[in-house]
Amino acid sequence: MKEQKKLVAEITSMEEDFAQWYTDVVIKAGLIAYSHIKGFMVYKPAGYALWEAVQKYLDARFKAVGVENVYLPMMIPENLLNKEGDLVKGFAPEVAWVTHGGSEELQERICVRPTSETLFCDFYRDEIHSYRDLPKVYNQWCSVVRWEKETRPFLRSREFMWQEGHTAHATAEEAEARTQQMLNVYADFCAEDLAIPTIKGQKTDKEKFAGAVATYTIEALMHDGRALQSGTSHDFGSDFAEAYDITFTDRDNKLKHVYQTSWGLSTRIIGALIMVHGDDSGLVLPPRIAPTQVMIIPIQQRKPGVMDKARELAQELSDFRVKVDETDKSPGFKFADQEMRGIPLRIEIGPRDIENGKCIVARRDSGEKMEVALSDLKETIGKLLPQIQQDMYDRAKAHLESHTYSAADKEAFVKTFAEKSGFVKAMWCGDRACEDAIKEEMGVTSRCMPFEQEHIADTCVWCGKKAKKMVYWGRAY
């Protein structure tokens, strides 16, 4: 077991240095490699498999609510980008520009998409003419480029993968309904597939998307008590349509502007997956999203019949995502490697186990080991995987609840953030100046105004004026 201890020890304890723990897990579990282009990452097979799983489950949810996939160009002419002023202002510092095509200088700069609102607007202007053409409920899976100053794997890189939905509707009510519907899709995906509980709510005007009428968000709480914005859905009203002249002839034969929405979830969600569920041994993956759900580890694999039995078990368990670790390494190394990669269940099978018609099954999430008859193995695995999924959600939910506090006044607000990590619920007057002051003086931002409002006090936690909203505040990634 010396190899196992040595391997696990290579991961920094999360209590010692959470940021280093995160980097260790990402690199040593084989998810990401740094490229030679600063700020750009290489997604290794294990990391990309997680993104493929996100795509698979989320795309199925999209299609269930009428979303169709398209793909638009990655380049945006400068004149097109400039049509919506707030959008340009919001993304200008992060835009990457193309100035040459081959050896020739371009007559007009072209940006590599930081987001695709402008492209969809340009597309919809030509596609939409009548109310009969509505609604348009499109999504694209793609990558975008934002020239971030500081980068961290999955959480923030200069190129990242995501999906961005862009819809067009005949009425403001339809657009608002779609905006909230897609936020609920994200929340359900996080809870049911990723075992991550979230807080749903509306962003303040300071934190909303540039050019949006309203931005809704799901906020997750990481193990270290920091928040992570995990998915957003934006109601654009008709502002973009007016800027890009997207009109349609309505049933009353009048020309009107469409109402639009946009919503997105990115590879940041993999960072959330790591930081919500991981431990000092590495990843802990929920069974529904895990690329490999069961790893079979043959003990004394060179002895006659051991490898054959392991392969036979894999065949019997083919209803699940199962693999046999056939590498020529010690069992101790394989156990540690399987744990670091977060595989939900491990099956240990050796000559004596085969003789006795049983095996050992180990849970990654709890470390529990159990002896299981080979004749009962498939049924046992079938029960264990959903149980692990539920247990992981329950643990994450308990962590969220135990790290969510209330503050009725400024003294309690400051004291709580000084002594604890997590969300703090507190009342706010709605004044941007208070929000700015809280961020500047405490390094704390408004995460959302939850849909489920609570009355904690009559006055704003910062200025003492009459309160308008209860807000979740926190330090965030």
All domains of the chain in start order, with CATH: 2-277 (3.30.930.10), 294-385 (3.40.50.800), 404-474 (3.30.110.30)
Query: Per residue in 212-255, pLDDT tens?
Result: 999 999 999 999 999 999 999 999 999 999 999 999 999 999 99
Residue 1 has a pLDDT of: 39
Task: Cis check for the bond before 331: say yes or no (omega within 30 of 0).
Answer: no
Contact by Cβ (8 Å): 118, 76: yes
CA distances from 434 to 86, 201, 214 (A): 23, 19, 20
Query: Per residue in 115-141, pLDDT tens?
Result: 999 999 999 999 999 999 999 999 999
H runs (alpha helix) in 44-116: 45-64, 78-81, 85-91
Whole-number CA gyration radius for the chain: 25
Average pLDDT over residues 169-176: 98
Q: What are phi and psi of 333, to 5 degrees?
A: -65, -45
Average pLDDT over residues 196-201: 98
**How far is it, in rounded angstroms, from Cα 222 to Cα 228?**
7
Query: Per residue in 398-456, pLDDT tens?
Result: 999 999 999 999 999 999 999 999 999 999 999 999 999 999 999 999 999 999 999 99
Residue 91 has a pLDDT of: 76
Residue 3 has a pLDDT of: 44
**pLDDT grade for 147, boundaries at 50, 70 and 90:** very high
Rounded to two decimals, the pTM is 0.94
Contact by Cβ (8 Å): 297, 337: no
pLDDT at 306 over 60: yes
Least confident stretch, 8-22, 67-81, 220-234, 415-429? 8-22
pLDDT at 87 over 70: no
Average pLDDT over residues 463-471: 97
Average pLDDT over residues 163-180: 98
Least confident stretch, 35-39, 167-171, 320-324, 412-416? 35-39
Contact by Cβ (8 Å): 81, 118: yes
Helix (H) or strand (E) holding 227: strand 227-237
pLDDT at 88 over 80: no
132 burial level (CB within 10 Å; 0-12, 13-18, 19+): exposed
Structure token pair of residue 293? 């759900």
Least confident stretch, 166-170, 298-302, 384-388, 418-422? 298-302
Q: What is the mean pLDDT of the chain?
A: 95
pLDDT at 367 over 80: yes
Strand partners of residue 166:
138, 262
pLDDT at 30 over 70: yes
**Residues ≥6 apart with Cβ < 8 Å to 74:** 112, 113, 142, 143
**How far is it, in rounded angstroms, from Cα 296 to Cα 448?**
44
The rounded percent of the chain whose pLDDT value lies above 70 is 97
CA distances from 41 to 26, 78, 154 (A): 11, 27, 9
Residue 411 has a pLDDT of: 97
The conformation of residue 282, written as its DSSP 8-state character, comes to B
**How far is it, in rounded angstroms, from Cα 430 to Cα 432?**
6
**How far is it, in rounded angstroms, from Cα 219 to Cα 476?**
10
What is the separation, in whole angstroms, between the first and last Cα of the chain? 37
Query: Per residue in 380-394, pLDDT tens?
Result: 999 999 999 999 999
Q: Residue 202: how many CA atoms within 13 Å on its side-chain side?
A: 15
Query: Per residue in 243-269, pLDDT tens?
Result: 999 999 999 999 999 999 999 999 999
Q: What are phi and psi of 115, to 5 degrees?
A: -175, 165
Structure token pair of residue 309? 């039995």
Q: What are phi and psi of 23, to 5 degrees?
A: -65, -40
Strand partners of residue 299:
none
**How far is it, in rounded angstroms, from Cα 159 to Cα 38?**
11
Contact by Cβ (8 Å): 202, 218: no
Instruction: Pick the closest to residue 274 from 60, 38, 46 (CA basis).
Output: 46
